[in-house]
Amino acid sequence: MKLLTVLVTVLCSGYLCVVAAQAPAGKVKTVEQQLLTANKAYDIALVKGDADALDRLYAEEFVYTTFDGKVRDKAQQLSFTRSGDLRLVSGQSDDVKIHVYGNTAVMTGRFTAKGKFRGKDLDIRERYTAVWVRKAGRWQLVVEQGNEIKE
């Protein structure tokens, strides 16, 4: 994200889990709760640099647009994650808003993180827009764009 387009992976989002985990017996999660769970899993995967978890979260047609205008497909984004150039020590979304349209959802939020990019300290503050689609019984991230929050 920031700077190296948050190196996005963070988002950026994004960005999450394969979809809402099972709710305790007797409790059914709302679609919004499922998406928040997926988004939290995305944040965790970004902080951990867990490309395998991201691979499950990203749809095959996933596209990420960095805040400097670069576009990465799923393979490129996973390669970026696996490179280890970005190492986050913390990161999370807040101010998340969700609009659901059937099996599609548009999510906006703020992602803040700290870490290093190629050995240099990094302080990420970004706003993101993400599109999630429910496929094969789970929410997958299809499109995400991060925009740096300027001081």
Q: How far apart are CA 95 and CA 137, in angstroms?
A: 26
Q: What is the mean pLDDT of residues 28-47?
A: 95
The rounded mean pLDDT for the chain is 85
Please indicate, yes or no, whether the overall pTM of this predicted structure exceeds 0.75: yes
Return all residues near 105 (Cβ < 8 A) that are at least 6 apart. 31, 35, 98, 99, 131, 132, 133, 134, 139
pLDDT at 11 over 80: no
Domain boundaries, the chain: 5-148
The CATH number fitting domain 5-148, selected from 3.10.450.50, 1.10.10.10, 3.30.530.20, 2.40.50.140: 3.10.450.50
Sheet of 58-65: strands edge to edge?
A: 71-73, 58-65, 138-148, 120-135, 104-117, 86-101
Q: What is the pLDDT of residues 66-122, one digit of tens each?
A: 888 999 999 999 999 999 999 999 999 999 999 999 999 999 999 999 999 999 999
> Residues 134-143: what's their mean pLDDT?
95
* For range 6-18, the mean pLDDT: 35
